[in-house]
């Protein structure tokens, strides 16, 4: 597993340049965010998502887009599995963003959907992930009020998150 280069941005030390670049993206688009908000007990281990977007009720995990950085299944759980477990545990949707702000893919794990079918991913079993047919890209309008997912090929909007009137708190057992 490749370790990122610690990077300071806005007075916060991020574990990688990639995470710092997403913090800059959120700031530029006026999206309030908290870095590594809380450790979450997933039963067999504890896990800390990269970002919490309280005004949207979204958890975010950032990973490199390069498939060479994928973890070995025997050594550690895949990011998709962690996101799946985290969404179920916290009851909040979770975005897995792979890549840089200008070139990335997004998967959504939404605990509100039934039968382990998540938006843009279908999880048959925790260790079996079916990739979506179309890649999603995250966009923001710069107002801090809307986050939009669009199909990376057709540029058609597929999902929209709207800012809540009152920020949500991440209340989970740690």
Determine the Cα–Cα distance for residues 23 and 113; give it in Å rounded to an integer.
28
Domain membership of residue 124 (yes or no) is yes
- What would the two tokens of residue 71 be? 């973890």
Those residues with Cβ within 8 angstroms of residue 144's Cβ, 6 or more apart along the chain or in another chain: 29, 30, 31, 32, 55, 163
Domain membership of residue 26 (yes or no) is yes
Task: Give the pLDDT of residue 107.
Answer: 83
Contact at 8 Å (CB) between 54 and 38? no
Instruction: Output the pTM of the full model.
Output: 0.78
Which pLDDT band, with edges at 50, 70 and 90, does 73 fall under? very low
Domain membership of residue 96 (yes or no) is yes
Domain membership of residue 123 (yes or no) is yes
**Segments forming the whole domain that contains residue 125:** 7-66+74-135
Choose between 26 and 119: higher pLDDT.
Answer: 26
Domain membership of residue 172 (yes or no) is no
Side-chain-side CA neighbours of 70 within 13 Å: the count stands at: 9
Task: Give the pLDDT of residue 5.
Answer: 92
- How many domains is the chain built from? 1
Domain membership of residue 156 (yes or no) is no
Lowest mean pLDDT among 5-9, 91-95, 168-172: 168-172
Determine the Cα–Cα distance for residues 6 and 126; give it in Å rounded to an integer.
31
């Amino acid at each position: 597993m490749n370790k990122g280069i610690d990077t300071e941005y806005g007075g916060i030390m991020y574990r990688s340049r990639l995470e710092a670049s997403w913090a800059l993206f959120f700031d530029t688009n006026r999206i309030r965010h908290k870095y590594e908000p809380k450790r979450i007990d997933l039963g067999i281990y504890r896990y800390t998502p990269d970002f919490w977007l309280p005004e949207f009720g979204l958890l975010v995990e950032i990973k490199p887009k390069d498939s060479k950085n994928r973890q070995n299944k025997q050594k550690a759980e895949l990011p998709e599995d962690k996101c799946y477990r985290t969404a179920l545990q916290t009851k909040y949707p979770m975005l897995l963003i792979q890549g840089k702000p200008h070139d990335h893919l997004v998967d959504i794990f939404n605990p509100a959907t039934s039968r382990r079918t998540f938006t843009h991913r279908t999880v048959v079993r925790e260790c079996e992930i079916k990739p979506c047919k179309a890649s999603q890209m995250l966009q923001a309008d710069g107002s801090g009020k809307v986050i939009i997912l669009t199909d990376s090929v057709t540029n058609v909007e597929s999902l929209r998150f709207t800012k809540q009137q009152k920020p949500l708190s991440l209340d989970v057992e740690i």
